[in-house]
Amino acid sequence: MQFIDLKAQRQRIGDKIDVAISRVLEHGNYIMGPEVDELERQLSAFCGAEHAISCASGTDALLLVLMAWGIGPKDAVFVPSFTFASTAEVVALLGATPVFVDVEEDSFTMSPSSLEMAYSEAKRLGLKPRAIIPVDLFGQPADYDRLLAFAESQGMSVLADAAQSFGATLRGRRTGTFGHATATSFFPAKPLGCYGDGGAVFTDSEELAEIIKSLRVHGKGRHKYDNVRIGINGRLDTLQAAILLEKLSIFSDELQARQRIGDAYNQALESLVCVPRLASGATSAWAQYTIRLSGRDDVARLLGQAGIPTAVYYPQPLHRQTAYKEFPVPRTGLPVSDRLSGEVLSLPMHPYLDSSTIHRIQQELGRILASG
Ligand SMILES: *Cc1c(COP(=O)(O)O)cnc(C)c1O
């Protein structure tokens, strides 16, 4: 049993991907080749954002947006503590202050009430609130209506971290269209993954799109050797774009399979453990299927002995990590993030998981919990 079965997808479209790779090897435009333009066109059509700008990773996607917004020292950027390190890392890299916010227990995404408390704390510390980065953790969009309303009322921008949620929807709209900008990742284990590192930024703002296109090529102006701003080397490889084009052609079908599997898991496990719930009007890209239970570490060990791989995202919230523990948190702390890190357990999830595997996981989990 695989936690994420990338081989099953290769069996389905491996031949087409190999042909696409050969095509790039033949034309030899490894950097910014025609597949990169085509991918950006198709990504923007897929999610409905005006502009899709591909880049070298999900982390670069976040970084490029913050750079374009001119985020820097004395600025506060609000990020959840219960997330992958990248979300806060890019803020700190620019010399700004990540201010940690708690998450909602049922959706794992940024809590609007905790955001207001974190905002007060940032003001008290004399920081300038500039932006918030809600994370669509495990694949479900955050509560953008409320988060955006608060951010805009305080003159802040919203960067959606959709690294785990590309393809998810909220009331019929897809991720890529919720914040002022959206960042996603094509790391192999994400819902839409390539064969290495990759990412993209989405926005409806033409001005922002143009700045990011410049920043990803060393701040280029009219051409590569005309440098009008400080940038980075943040391009997506043509080979990865070619691979992503093939994967995008079956992505809608895979998203439906993920949703089916998420529903089947919920039905099988809801009497045993606390299962993930989607907000009304939301669908998830199901990057992870994450349950909550007490005695998590023992259960994970026993599942492992029974041949069922699991993972813990995340065993420690960022505000407890060595590198991040000096950054501000709201006065009341982040109790939900602290609790969740001790309870969450992610089970195997990919579009090719069959019902007999879900049944087996249900049986083993039931047996372990009954004997515990
Ligand atoms: C994976 C991930 C990232 C970073 O993406 P990379 O492509 O690995 O740089 C950022 N945020 C979240 C929430 C992620 O899961």
Question: What pLDDT, in 10s, does the model give residues 271-330?
Answer: 999 999 999 999 999 999 999 999 999 999 999 999 999 999 999 999 999 999 999 999
Q: Whose CA is nearest to atom 10 of ligand 1?
A: 86
Provide the pLDDT confidence category of residue 81 given band limits of 50, 70 and 90.
Answer: very high
DSSP class of residue 203 equals E
Radius of gyration, CA atoms only, the chain? 21
Provide the pLDDT confidence category of residue 156 given band limits of 50, 70 and 90.
Answer: very high
Query: Cβ–Cβ contacts within 10 Å for residue 237, how many?
Result: 22
What average pLDDT does the structure give for the chain?
97
Provide the pLDDT confidence category of residue 372 given band limits of 50, 70 and 90.
Answer: confident
Q: How would you classify the pairing of strands 75-80 and 128-132? A: parallel
Sheet strand arrangement including 97-101: 51-55, 199-203, 181-185, 157-161, 128-132, 75-80, 97-101
Residue of 63, 86, 161, 182 best suited for mutating to test ligand 1, as the one with most atoms within 8 Å of CB: 86
Provide the pLDDT confidence category of residue 224 given band limits of 50, 70 and 90.
Answer: confident
**Cβ distance 308 to 164 under 8 Å?**
no
pTM of the complete model beyond 0.85? yes
Query: What's the CA-to-centroid distance between 199 and ligand 1, angstroms?
Result: 9
For ligand 1, is residue 185 a contact (CB within 6 Å)? Answer: yes
Q: Whose CA is nearest to atom 14 of ligand 1?
A: 163
pLDDT over 90 percentage in the chain: 98
**Mean pLDDT in residue range 64-91:** 98
**Mean pLDDT in residue range 45-64:** 98
For ligand 1, is residue 141 a contact (CB within 6 Å)? Answer: no
For ligand 1, is residue 163 a contact (CB within 6 Å)? Answer: yes
Provide the pLDDT confidence category of residue 136 given band limits of 50, 70 and 90.
Answer: very high
Residue 353 scores a pLDDT above 80? yes
Residue 345 scores a pLDDT above 90? yes
- pLDDT at residue 196 in the model: 97
